[in-house]
Amino acid sequence: MSLPLAHTLVARTVEVPDVGDLLERLPTAGLGRALSWVRRGDGLIGLGELARFETSGESRFADADAAWSDMVAGAVVRDTVGLPGTGPVCFGSFAFSRRSRAGGVVVVPEIVIGRRNGVSWVTTMSTGALPPSGDAADLLPAVEPLRAPTRVRFSDGALAAADWQDSVREVIDVIRSGAVGKVVMARDVIADLDGEPDARRVLGWLAAEYQSCWTFAVDGMIGATPELLVRRERGLLSSRVLAGTIQRTGDDARDLARAGALARSSKDLEEHEFAVDSLTASLRPFVASTSAPETPSVLHLPNVMHLATDVTAVLDPAHAQMSSLAVAAALHPTAAVCGTPTLDAAEVIAEHERMDRGRYAAPVGWMGADGDGEWGIALRSAAVTGPTSLRLFAGCGIVAASDPAAELAESEAKLAPMRDALS
């Protein structure tokens, strides 16, 4: 049933001349209010806030999905572009654990600026009123000068480095007892700045340095994730699994040798196999087919290299209407960010990690009115905790052969993107 006109969503999408750097179009407001999903110059940013839906607990994904579905039901849409990301769009971010106070949120912006394959557009959204009928290009915000850089200092989060290594040793003992096969242990670091950072400077740096990653910002959760949990586009699902990591040295010849060592590492190959098997098992109940290469490739990032596997699948007819967020909820948490078996690993995390992850390592992304969208895993990320403070996160997959000191070094490498972006 359609909503009354006063509450009906009205959306208009029109093509505009090239918008340039999307992230430069963000307002000067701080990181906590930025909305973005950008990779290699393409993607979406959101301006303003038309509506938001906050959820919590076990049903945080389903409640958010239902709220968005209700909002777009009966929507009046004028879309002359017709690409993924046009028409009504929302952004979302969710807590890793059902027990977390961070819950989940869906934010519906007033304006979305997007670009894909050389086509730029602007979408305006409102309730109960027709969108502006003039030139949509007039709605594009001017590119304003960047704020001055801020200085930052870092301090221990929930656990000091030595204490975190002790927790990793405890988890290794649990794994060697046979209770679980793999556990992903995260740690946090606190960043305090001497002024409010410019969202465009931080996100722009991440996007420029980590072009193969998805640079995101939703409700104060920011970062550049290399891991795509799920993309749904016209019934086709895509996912990128990352597990198994080695640091880069900055020397091309040495890094090439290290990439070869990573591809042959029994410890890392075991960790990666756990993650791929976890994902495909989670997909199995609602897809007609899946496809994945037999061996992983090596993904090269500026700070680390990962074993990577791209998985594709096709929704079966009985689940053809399953939204991208519903698929993301079914896949979360994967072995890549939790462990194997997943439920048992989650209990080990709750006992030994000694912190609330909040929305770290959980789904973050966007979704359209038709349920298509992209959801990444909030990795290489930070949570904005105040105008001048953030929590940075990094996690490492622990297996029986893990070494606590090596895992600490890996976590430091994974913290580097956010440390550098803030510095």
* pLDDT in the model for residue 27: 83
Q: Domain 5-422 is of which CATH architecture?
A: 4-Layer Sandwich (3.60)
Residue 68: φ, ψ to 5°? -65, -40
* pLDDT in the model for residue 134: 62
pLDDT, mean of residues 318-323: 93
Percent of the chain with pLDDT over 70: 96
* pLDDT exceeds cutoff 90 at 350: yes
Rg (CA), the chain: 21
* pLDDT in the model for residue 303: 81
Angle at which helices 199-209 and 404-422 cross, to 10°: 130
* pLDDT in the model for residue 331: 94
Nearest to 22 by CA among 8, 38, 35: 38
DSSP state of 398: E
DSSP state of 321: T
* pLDDT exceeds cutoff 80 at 128: no
Q: Decide: 293 and 216 in contact? Cβ < 8 Å.
A: no
Span 235-272, pLDDT tens digits: 899 999 888 888 888 888 888 998 898 888 888 888 78
Instruction: State whether residue 376 is helix, strand or coil.
Output: strand
- Active-site positions? 182, 227
Cα–Cα distance measured from residue 14 to residue 124, given in angstroms and rounded to the nearest whole number? 9
Residue 400: φ, ψ to 5°? -60, -30
Cα–Cα distance measured from residue 279 to residue 273, given in angstroms and rounded to the nearest whole number? 10
Angle at which helices 342-352 and 161-176 cross, to 10°: 140
DSSP state of 86: -
Cα–Cα distance measured from residue 214 to residue 41, given in angstroms and rounded to the nearest whole number? 10
Q: Decide: 338 and 241 in contact? Cβ < 8 Å.
A: no
Burial 45-57 (b: 16+ CB within 10 A, else e): bbbeebbebebbe
Cα–Cα distance measured from residue 307 to residue 29, given in angstroms and rounded to the nearest whole number? 37
Comparing 57-61, 337-341, 363-367, the range with the smallest average pLDDT is: 337-341
Six token digits for residue 386: 């105040």
Instruction: State whether residue 243 is helix, strand or coil.
Output: strand
* pLDDT in the model for residue 251: 84
Q: What is the end-to-end Cα distance of the chain in Å, rounded? A: 51
Comparing 129-138, 140-149, 226-235, 279-288, the range with the smallest average pLDDT is: 129-138
* pLDDT in the model for residue 1: 30
Span 301-311, pLDDT tens digits: 888 888 899 99
Q: Decide: 309 and 241 in contact? Cβ < 8 Å.
A: yes
* pLDDT in the model for residue 4: 39
* pLDDT in the model for residue 149: 87
* pLDDT in the model for residue 293: 87
Cα–Cα distance measured from residue 421 to residue 423, given in angstroms and rounded to the nearest whole number? 6
Nearest to 164 by CA among 406, 422, 416: 406
* pLDDT exceeds cutoff 70 at 132: no
Q: Which uninterrupted H or E stretch holds 210?
A: none
Residue 322: φ, ψ to 5°? -65, 125
Q: Rounded mean pLDDT of the chain? A: 91
Span 19-56, pLDDT tens digits: 999 999 998 767 899 999 999 999 999 999 999 999 99
Cα–Cα distance measured from residue 336 to residue 334, given in angstroms and rounded to the nearest whole number? 5
Q: Decide: 103 and 57 in contact? Cβ < 8 Å.
A: yes
Span 378-408, pLDDT tens digits: 999 999 999 999 999 999 989 898 999 999 9
Cα–Cα distance measured from residue 68 to residue 106, given in angstroms and rounded to the nearest whole number? 8
* pLDDT in the model for residue 229: 95
Q: Decide: 278 and 333 in contact? Cβ < 8 Å.
A: no
DSSP state of 48: S
pTM score, whole prediction: 0.92
Comparing 127-141, 209-223, 310-324, the range with the smallest average pLDDT is: 127-141
Cα–Cα distance measured from residue 20 to residue 27, given in angstroms and rounded to the nearest whole number? 15
Cα–Cα distance measured from residue 156 to residue 192, given in angstroms and rounded to the nearest whole number? 11
Instruction: State whether residue 159 is helix, strand or coil.
Output: coil
Residue 202 CA, chain-centre distance (Å), reads: 16
Polymer length of the chain: 423
Cα–Cα distance measured from residue 341 to residue 92, given in angstroms and rounded to the nearest whole number? 27
Domain ranges of the chain: 5-422
